[in-house]
C-alpha cells in the first residue's frame, strides 16, 4: 500500500511575502498531519525570489514545532552546498528536539546557478565528493567510534534516516549501493524514472537502515471539483515552467484562462515533457491516473507537489487527494 507525502518549497505567491509563505506552509502541514499523510518535506533552493525554504533546517524546525506526529524533513538538502559536519549538527539538533520525526533527503545538485554557488563559497568540484560526503555525514550521525576526533553535538548517535534524491541514474546507483531509500524527482524530470527504479531495485544492498528497497516517486497532483477547474489551477504551475525556460522563475502567478496564449509552442512542448508525471482533474480523473502510475512504477510512496497560487485551493486539493489515496490503498 503506497504512502502519500507532501513536498513544499514554501512558495511565495505574487502579492505576498515570505512570512505569508511560512504561515501557509505550517497551515498545510497541520492539515496533512490531520489527513494522514506520511511525511512533509521542504527543499533547499537559493537566490529564488519565489521560494522561501532556503534555510531548510530552520523551516523544518518551524513545521515540526507546529505539528505533533507527521514526519518532517528535507527533500532535500543539497549536500554540495554544505559541510557534512554542519548538516549533522543541524539535523542532529532537529532529531533531538523532535525524536523519531525527522528525515534527511540528500541531493547532489547545487540547487542554484554558478554565481549563487560562488556566493555559497562552493565550487563545481563539491558535487564530485557527494558519495564521500554522504558516508561522512552518515558516520557523524552514527554511534561514537573509539578514538573519534570530530563529533557532531548534537547529532552523534541520532541516526537520522538518510534518503538519496535524484533525477538520473547516479542517485539510483548510490542509494542501492548504500542501502538507502531512494526518491526520484519525476515531478519535474521524468525521463529516467523507470530505468532508475529498475537499477535501484536490482542492485539494492541491505543496510543497517533498510533491509529492502524503498522507492519514492514525485508527482504533481491537483484535484478540484471538476476537470476544468483543476486544469485552470494547474496553469499556475505551467506558467512557472514557462518562466523557468525564460530564466525568470519569479513568484507563483495566479491561474489564467488560456494557457496556450501565454506560452510559446516551444515552451509548451518542453513544459509538458517536464510535467509528464502530473495528475490533474476531478477525483475520478486523478484516481484513474494515479492508479496507472502506481501500477507502472510499483512505488512504495508518492511525494506530491502542488504549488498553487490560492492557498485554499491547495488545501482542498490535498483534502480530496487524501480520499483518493484511501480508496487506492483500499483497492490494493
The domain spanning residue 100 has which CATH number?
3.20.20.30
Whether 183 is covered by a domain: the verdict is: no
pLDDT at 260 over 70: yes
What is the domain count for the chain? 2
Lookup: cell for 269: 512542448
pLDDT band at 124 (very low <50, low <70, confident <90, very high): low
DSSP β-bridge partners for residue 252 = 13
- Residue finishing a domain among 142, 160, 178: 160
User: Whole-model pTM?
Assistant: 0.95
> 131 and 6 in one domain?
yes
> 138 and 227 in one domain?
no
Per-chain mean pLDDT for the chain: 94
CA distance 314 to 64: 20
Residue given cell 515570505 in the structure block:
18
Average pLDDT rounded to a whole number, residues 192-215: 98
Share of the chain above pLDDT 90, in %: 86
> 306 and 235 in one domain?
yes
Of 87-101, 202-216, 242-256, the one with minimum mean pLDDT is: 242-256
User: What pLDDT was estimated at residue 171?
Assistant: 96
pLDDT at 22 over 60: yes
- Residue finishing a domain among 111, 142, 160: 160
Of 49-53, 71-75, 196-200, 246-250, the one with minimum mean pLDDT is: 246-250
CA distance 160 to 142: 8
- Residue finishing a domain among 138, 160, 182: 160
> 247 and 139 in one domain?
no
Looking at the chain, the number of H-run helices and the number of E-run strands are: 11, 9
pLDDT in tens, 231-245: 999 999 999 999 999
* E-state strands within 137-241: 162-166, 182-184, 215-223
Whether 305 is covered by a domain: the verdict is: yes
CA distance 255 to 228: 12
> 151 and 25 in one domain?
yes
pLDDT at 111 over 60: no
The secondary structure of residue 189, as a DSSP letter, is -
> 234 and 137 in one domain?
no
Whether 15 is covered by a domain: the verdict is: yes
Structural contact between residues 280 and 222, judged by C-beta atoms closer than 8 angstroms: yes
> 237 and 89 in one domain?
no
Whether 10 is covered by a domain: the verdict is: yes
> 315 and 229 in one domain?
yes
pLDDT band at 332 (very low <50, low <70, confident <90, very high): low
Whether 207 is covered by a domain: the verdict is: no
Structural contact between residues 12 and 52, judged by C-beta atoms closer than 8 angstroms: yes
pLDDT at 120 over 70: no
pLDDT in tens, 128-164: 789 999 999 999 999 988 888 899 899 999 999 999 9
Lookup: cell for 199: 537499477
CA distance 329 to 80: 37
> 238 and 118 in one domain?
no
3-class DSSP assignment, residue 111: coil
Whether 173 is covered by a domain: the verdict is: no
Provide the residue range defining the domain that includes 316.
219-332
> 279 and 143 in one domain?
no
Whether 197 is covered by a domain: the verdict is: no
pLDDT band at 206 (very low <50, low <70, confident <90, very high): very high
pLDDT at 248 over 90: no
> 259 and 144 in one domain?
no
Whether 232 is covered by a domain: the verdict is: yes
User: What pLDDT was estimated at residue 147?
Assistant: 85
Our CA angle for 24, 9, 76, nearest 5°, is: 135
pLDDT in tens, 32-59: 999 999 999 999 988 889 999 999 999 9
CA distance 275 to 105: 22
Lookup: cell for 326: 484511501
- Higher pLDDT pick, 120 / 196: 196
Phi, psi of 106 (to 5 degrees): -120, 130
> 145 and 6 in one domain?
yes
Distances (CA, A) of 157 to 45, 93, 134, 149, 243: 28, 11, 16, 15, 44
pLDDT at 112 over 80: no
pLDDT band at 317 (very low <50, low <70, confident <90, very high): very high
Amino acid at each position: 500500500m503506497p504512502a502519500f507525502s507532501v513536498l513544499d518549497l514554501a512558495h511565495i505567491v505574487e502579492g505576498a511575502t515570505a512570512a505569508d509563505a511560512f504561515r501557509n506552509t505550517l497551515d498545510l502541514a497541520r492539515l496533512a498531519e490531520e489527513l494522514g499523510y506520511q511525511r512533509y518535506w521542504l527543499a533547499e533552493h537559493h537566490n529564488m525570489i519565489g521560494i522561501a525554504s532556503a534555510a531548510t533546517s530552520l523551516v523544518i524546525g518551524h513545521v515540526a514545532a507546529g505539528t505533533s506526529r507527521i514526519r518532517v524533513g528535507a527533500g532535500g538538502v543539497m549536500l554540495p552546498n554544505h559541510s557534512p559536519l554542519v548538516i549533522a549538527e543541524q539535523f542532529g539538533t532537529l532529531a533531538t528536539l523532535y525524536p523519531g520525526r525527522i528525515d534527511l533527503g540528500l541531493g547532489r545538485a547545487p540547487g542554484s546557478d554558478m554565481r549563487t554557488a560562488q556566493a555559497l563559497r562552493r565550487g563545481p568540484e563539491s558535487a564530485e565528493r557527494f558519495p564521500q560526503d554522504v558516508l561522512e555525514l552518515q558516520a557523524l550521525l552514527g554511534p561514537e567510534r573509539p578514538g573519534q576526533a570530530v563529533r557532531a553535538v548534537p547529532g552523534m548517535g541520532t541516526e537520522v534516516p538518510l534518503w538519496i534524491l535524484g533525477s538520473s541514474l547516479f542517485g539510483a546507483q548510490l542509494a542501492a549501493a548504500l542501502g538507502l531509500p531512494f526518491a526520484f524527482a519525476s515531478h519535474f524530470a521524468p525521463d529516467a524514472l523507470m530505468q532508475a527504479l529498475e537499477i535501484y531495485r536490482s542492485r539494492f544492498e541491505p543496510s543497517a537502515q533498510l533491509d529492502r528497497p524503498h522507492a519514492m516517486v514525485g508527482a504533481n497532483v491537483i484535484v478540484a471539483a471538476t476537470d476544468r477547474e483543476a486544469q485552470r489551477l494547474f496553469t499556475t504551475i505551467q506558467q512557472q515552467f514557462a518562466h523557468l525556460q525564460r530564466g525568470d522563475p519569479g513568484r507563483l502567478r495566479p491561474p489564467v484562462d488560456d494557457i496556450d496564449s501565454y506560452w510559446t509552442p516551444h515552451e509548451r512542448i518542453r513544459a509538458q515533457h517536464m510535467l509528464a508525471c502530473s495528475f490533474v482533474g476531478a477525483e475520478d480523473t486523478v484516481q484513474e491516473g494515479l492508479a496507472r502510475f502506481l501500477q507502472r512504477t510499483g512505488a512504495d510512496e508518492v511525494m506530491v507537489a502542488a504549488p498553487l497560487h490560492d492557498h485554499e485551493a491547495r488545501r482542498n486539493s490535498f483534502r480530496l487527494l487524501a480520499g483518493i489515496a484511501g480508496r487506492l490503498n483500499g483497492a490494493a
